[in-house]
Amino acid sequence: MSTITGKSALITGGGSGIGLGCAIRLVQDGAHVTICGRTEDKLVAAVDVIAAQAADGATVRHIVADVTVEDEIAAANAFAAEVTGGLDILVANADGSMHMGALADADAEAIRATIDVNLTGTILSVKHAIAPMKAAGGGSVIAMSSGAGGFPHRWLWAYGASKAGIDMFCRSAADELGVDGIRVNSVQPGIVDDELMAFITAGGPLLDHYIENMPLGRVGTVEDIAEIVRFLAGSESSWITGVNIPIDGGHHLRQGADYGKLFG
CA-based nearest residue to 88, from 243, 233, 185, 229? 233
As a whole number of angstroms, the distance between CA 170 and CA 65 comes to: 22
Cα dist from 30 to 7, 15, 34, 59, 142, whole Å: 8, 19, 13, 8, 18
Active-site residue, selected from the candidate residues 79, 151, 157, 159: 159
φ/ψ of residue 242, rounded to 5: 75, 25
As a whole number of angstroms, the distance between CA 169 and CA 187 comes to: 13
- Helices 222-233, 17-28: axis angle to 10 degrees equals 50
CA-based nearest residue to 89, from 25, 127, 141, 28? 141
The C-alpha angle with vertex 58 and arms to 55 and 63, in degrees rounded to 5, equals: 130
In one letter, which amino acid is 215? P
Concatenate the DSSP letters of all residues of 82-115 into one string: TTTTS--EEEE--------S-GGG--HHHHHHHH
> For this structure, is 159 an active site residue?
yes
Please report the sign of the dihedral spanned by the C-alpha atoms of residue 174, residue 135, residue 61, residue 41.
Answer: negative
As a whole number of angstroms, the distance between CA 12 and CA 94 comes to: 5
Give catalytic residue positions.
159
